[in-house]
Chains A and B, each alone.
Chain A
Amino acid sequence: MAVQARPKRPFRWHIAVFLAPAVLVYTAIMILPLAGTLQLSLFRNVDQHQVFVGLDNFRTLFGDPNWSVNFWNALRNNVWFFIIHMLVQNPVGVLLAALLSSPRLRFSAFYRTAIFVPTILSFVIVGFAWKLILSPLWGVAPHLMDIVGLRSLFTPWLGKEQYALTALSLISVWQFIGIPMMLIYAALLSIPDEVIEAAECDGITGLSQFWKIKLPLILPSIGIISILTFVGNFNAFDLIYTAQGALAGPNYSTDILGTFLYRAFFGFQLQVGDPNMGATIATMMFLIILGGVCVYLFLIQTRLRRYQF
């Protein structure tokens, strides 16, 4: 702890005491293991000994078809997973928040509470509940589509390679829509009335008011939501694991980096677990997330104008 002993100022022990527990637990359980994981990716287990192999593990990951095909597949799926979130979650979240924040709307507390319910449920519940609903065995989904006359469009989405990933992404959006909705709702509420009144004096109302006044003011919130979604998506695991299992079926079509890491680290069925390859994949995920966060911090956040009221 860099507490400086200035002249005539005794070392302030209480600062160290206040900081120590948090810093110790955080360093021991999070930072050191993170560093350890990055380090492990440079080693390989040879005859029960960890041998330094430089970037060989990465060469295996990208060069060996057994690994690289799966890695690129998982990365591609993960990018698609993220794109669906950005395209569906943000617009719908903004729409719901804009409607909720309209003045004198009745029952807005009820809507708010109800729409946030899926967010508090665990992935296990969400994954299984949707699996049951979309299951052709139970017939809830085909039955509902029959009501609106779209019965012919129904297929077992989670079981078909071309639809499974999109279906799961939409389930994930369904679960997490509450977070963007709430954050944007908060941002909209914090816009001062004077700004809105000034806009109205200038004759800007309704939709054009939303596009020209409100949207620019909530852009920083949308930026934060995007980066939170990015980080969350690129280390997602639970939903895919509960809905499709560790093999991320059908035929790896829903495999994302989280499930790929799990299989590499622990092994699954015929594959033997390999901590070093697990660490290598975790390092790649770390670099991807770090890259995303840096892009956000240095390119996006600095260009977004923040208005202080």
Chain B
Amino acid sequence: MSIATRSLPRTIGAHAILLTYTVIALFPVVLVIMNSFKSRAGIFGAPLTPPTPKTFDLIGYTTVIGQGDFFHYFQNSLVVTVGSLFFVLLFGAMAAFALSEYRFRGNTLMGLYLALGIMIPIRLATVAILQLMVASGLVNTLTALILVYTAQGLPLAVFILSEFMKQVSDDLKNAGRIDGLSEYTIFFRLVVPLVRPSMATVAVFTMIPIWNDLWFPLILAPSEETKTVTLGAQLFLGQFVTNWNAILAALSLAILPVLVLYVIFSRQLIRGITSGAVK
């Protein structure tokens, strides 16, 4: 490394720029969470200071927990996200294995067919998806959302996982075949455990857009029983426009679970991106 890249002013400059942007990135989040613990007077009187004993107030949180059925929405989101994640990973890994392991006629074509969904968003099919769900009686069920998100997540999952499955050693699989293992056993017992890290990466990539989606819950499952937390928060915020305590508390409640999950999985996610999983 040259001296030039290590010189002191340069390093200070780099830190200054990165620090400035970090502040820009975190400021709104910190501001919302900080003010959610304040009284109304505190929110408007001194929005930029952390809550002091004088301004500390949990009125926003009591309103949210008393009014909105957030726990239920949260449960719905969890069911939808975990359900779709399970099917995306299972079906995606199976298809990726078939595409990367066997040579058969139409292999490339099938790969291209499945990759189409990476570029063309499923949202454009909404009109016909709604008709399909109405016809099969799945409107306002969580099943409809799980089906749609499974289809949405599959293309990228198949694409990424087949890249990784190509790296699993052939000798290992052939050794299994000589020992008389069936193709299914080879897949579930040998290959899946070896690609588990990349499956975790795919899981994080798949999870974030599903958890945060507003479009499909709004269109396919807007009923009270099937509302997801994103849709619930959206409607709640619309109703309580003037109750700033409640809005800030609701926003904080929506931010916190995602933030906690992110802090736990951030290493996995960043390693996944930087390992060239998305090329």
Contacts and interface: CB of A to CB of B under 8 A. Distances in A.
A23 B251 CA distance: 38
A37 B125 contact: yes
A12 B97 CA distance: 14
Interface residues of B, number: 99
Contacts of B169: none
B167 interface: no
A174 B24 contact: yes
A106 B117 CA distance: 40
Interface string A184-195: 011001100000
A110 B98 CA distance: 39
Interface of B is mostly: helix
Contact of B270 (A3, A17, A32, A116): A116
A237 B6 contact: no
Given A19-B95, A286-B120, A133 B31 contact: yes
A275 B262 CA distance: 38
Given A26-B151, A113-B270, A128-B247, A33 B29 contact: no
Interface in A81-115: 92, 95-96, 99-100, 102-107, 110-115
A212 interface: no
A120 B208 contact: yes
Interface stretch (A53-61, A70-78, A137-145, A153-161): A137-145
Contacts of A185: 274
B94 A22 contact: yes
Interface string A111-153: 1111111111111111011101100001110011000000000
B259 interface: yes
Contacts, number: 275
Contact of A205 (B4, B14, B158, B254): B4
B266 A143 contact: no
B28 interface: yes
Interface stretch (B59-67, B99-107, B193-201): B99-107
Given A139-B44, A265-B127, A104 B6 contact: yes
Contacts of B208: 119-120
A121 B130 CA distance: 27
Nearest to B234: A124
Interface in A262-309: 265-266, 275, 278-279, 282, 285-286, 289-290, 293
B214 to A, nearest CB: 5
Contact of A118 (B29, B213, B244): B29
10 contacts: A12-B102, A22-B95, A23-B110, A29-B147, A103-B6, A111-B19, A125-B32, A186-B274, A238-B213, A242-B234
Interface of B: 1-2, 4-6, 11, 14-15, 17-19, 21-22, 24-26, 28-29, 31-32, 43-44, 47-48, 87, 90-92, 94-95, 97-99, 102, 104-106, 109-110, 113-114, 116-117, 119-132, 147-148, 150-152, 154-155, 158, 182-184, 187, 208, 211-215, 219, 230, 233-234, 237, 244, 247-248, 251, 254-255, 258-259, 262-263, 266, 269-270, 273-276, 278-279
